[in-house]
Structure 1
Amino acid sequence: MKLLMMTWLLFLLLMSQAWAHINIEQITGNTMGTSYTVQLRLQDSLVTKQQVKALVEQELERVNSTLSVYREDSEISVFNLNDADSPIPVSERLWDVLQISKSVSAQTYGALDVTLGPVIEFWGFGVKPRDLQHKDRGQLELARSKTGMDGFTLDSGSVTKVIRGLNINPSAVAKGYGVDRVAKVLDGAGVLNYLVEIGGEVRTRGVGVRGREWRVAVTRPQRFSLEIQQLITLKGMSMATSGSYVNFIQSDDRQLSHIIDPVTGMPVESNLVSATVLHRQCAVADGYATAMMILNVEQSIQIANELGLAVMLIEQTDMRLKTHFSDAIYPFLVKLD
């Protein structure tokens, strides 16, 4: 559904002696087809770095075993194969993700749609190899007939499929949800100061280097660019960024984005190249960031202001990149010298 933008963490990869002075520890690894990083201060906690790493990787394994569409034995894969028209009991993790998805979808005119699994597969952004040469409009419409956020209902820890063949792909919120779960583990371990990042999605608590609030940088939305577009102070918040310039198909003279419009089933064609959202929950920020890549700038800023969301949108005009801000994001912006 979406590949997280190249959101690079600034002020985290400092000199080793600076880390040693303030006891900033770093834990890294691979998960969800990408990498993860945890920056944390352990002075005030009773756990060791090795214990924290073990706890983090156990939790990430739980998330993967629930949400990975690439694992045939994951909970979501088994759920997708189940065409029962009766309630299907699901885990707390899957329930959380589906509930968040329902909520964000309702607030964004249906722009977030985690039921687009068949359409994602049609375009070759899913599990199966891409094969557009043998696809036609009829196959796309068949895939679309099995989608829709009203195609499932939630009730007391169970999910009921209303549409037969419904196939959920939770990737629009999965990385953000993984970040939230890791943060919960760190909270439970008594870690008071940390930054968790998975594939560019970020959540923070407390302070970091030199006792300052955590800062992250959103890079210029151009492939392989390391130039800073905007520096943001998170202040205990989460941040997710979605964009259209990294994962796409080149078809003749067109670039087909991996972000799919639920209304048409087609890759989004828009001047909007990047959407960054701040929220207490990273999964929620993740979902909104995806949805706002589907909506236009005016709709997204209106929704953000109505909901009090901190949002930054970057639009590619004929001449330059144009940045749009919601009202709530200004306290988080850091002026670049």
Structure 2
Amino acid sequence: MSKMSTDLKRHALNGPTMGTRWSALCHGPSGFDAVAVRAALQAAVDEVDAQMSTWKPDSDLMRLNRAPEGAWVTVPGRLLDVIRLGLAVGRASGGAFDIGMGGAVSAWGFGPAKASPDRIRRAMQARRMPAHDALEIDGARVRKRVPIALDLNGIAKGYGVDRLAEVLGGIGIRDALVGIDGEMRAMGLKPNGEAWTVAVEEPDPERRAPHSILSLQDCAVATSGDYRHRVEVQGRHLSHTMDPTLGAPLVKSPASVTVIAPTCAEADAWATALMVLGPDKGGELAQRLGLDALFLLRGEAHSIRSCRIGRLFGGGKMSVLAEGDWAI
């Protein structure tokens, strides 16, 4: 450990956002104003929520959703950045990631309103055009070619994590671990020179336990799973991840997919896309695109198998792997 590292004080900051909490762990020098830094971090995630929430009727996203098709709507820059990234991942994933699933998400009860059988039927019967075909962008303006409701829940939290990292970087903090609800981004290293450690959760709705441990430096990780955010419809527990081809929650899917990427927004979106595609098609696409991904699959007698894609997951960056793993 360097002498400089012993002069740093550990700061664990957190606050509310998007129905959960954000966190930031860093080490600051003498004079580090934790109160001011926490306020700046809170303001950053509040801005993301104000622009991208489907739970706030006055958010910029909901204003865009209410606009009629064909009408140009000027949107703020951060929302535009997330829409652009969402459309890019949508195209690259063949529509598996689709930010245009807002109608289905709401109908099935994953928004402010409860599930509605009538709206579910309409969502499943609707003729769908993927968002990357349904939206046009001209500078800071967006318009819809067809009626479509956008939902950014598969990418906004990851983008919020990136904003936390940007705020810390802007005040000279180069080493930190930031996150929102399990979506994490590692900046640099710990003061002792070690990588940041992050757990991949066991896909168990009844308890929180680590399945494996990641050592991360200058990258982000996000997990999409079937075991946390669920609703009950006619006695069945359904995952929040939507199948864009059906307008309904995934029926057969991995228990979870974890993706490591340069930014948390990318990791967040790709975890959802690979969850929809599954280990075969998703694994092939991840390998072709050079993504690092971990699929956890349910087996017999509550067992969990792993499919590992990429250099990071296949090259010794993980520990506590279960039996029955294979790598691509």
Q: TM-score, normalised by structure 2?
A: 0.89
What does 1:1-337 correspond to in 2, within 5 Å?
A: 23-43=9-29, 47-132=32-117, 137-138=121-122, 140-142=124-126, 145=128, 148-164=131-147, 166-208=148-190, 210-252=192-234, 254-319=236-301, 320-329=303-312, 330-331=314-315, 333-336=317-320
Q: Deviations for 1:167-220, whole angstroms, at most 9, x for unmatched residues?
A: 111111000000111111111111111111101110111112633110101121
The aligned amino acid for 1:53 is: R
Rounded Cα–Cα distance in structure 2 between residues aligned with 1:256 and 1:226: 19
The change in CA–CA distance for 1:148 and 1:126 in structure 2 (over 3 A counts) is: same
Shift of 1:252: 5.0
Q: TM-score, normalised by structure 1?
A: 0.87
Say whether the 8 Å CA contact 2:107–2:114 is kept in structure 1. Answer: no
Say whether the 8 Å CA contact 1:102–1:149 is kept in structure 2. Answer: yes
The aligned amino acid for 2:13 is: I
Aligned length: 315
Q: What is the percent sequence identity of the aligned residues?
A: 28
Which residue of the partner structure matches residue 3 of structure 1?
none
The change in CA–CA distance for 1:136 and 1:68 in structure 2 (over 3 A counts) is: closer
Say whether the 8 Å CA contact 1:146–1:167 is kept in structure 2. Answer: no
5+ unaligned residues in a row in structure 1: which ranges?
1-18
The CA RMSD measured in Å over matched residues stands at: 2.3
The change in CA–CA distance for 1:299 and 1:84 in structure 2 (over 3 A counts) is: closer
The aligned amino acid for 1:77 is: M
Which residue of the partner structure matches residue 14 of structure 1?
none
Rounded Cα–Cα distance in structure 2 between residues aligned with 1:238 and 1:187: 15
Rounded Cα–Cα distance in structure 2 between residues aligned with 1:20 and 1:302: 46
The change in CA–CA distance for 1:140 and 1:302 in structure 2 (over 3 A counts) is: closer
- The higher-RCO structure (CA 8 Å, 6+ apart) is 1
Rounded Cα–Cα distance in structure 2 between residues aligned with 1:271 and 1:141: 22
5+ unaligned residues in a row in structure 2: which ranges?
322-328
Q: Deviations for 1:73-117, whole angstroms, at most 9, x for unmatched residues?
A: 111111111115143221111111111101111111100111111
Shift of 1:20: 9.0
The more displaced of 305-314 and 249-258 is 249-258
Say whether the 8 Å CA contact 1:311–1:328 is kept in structure 2. Answer: no
Q: Deviations for 1:205-253, whole angstroms, at most 9, x for unmatched residues?
A: 1112633110101121101433321110111110000101122233456
Say whether the 8 Å CA contact 1:233–1:332 is kept in structure 2. Answer: no
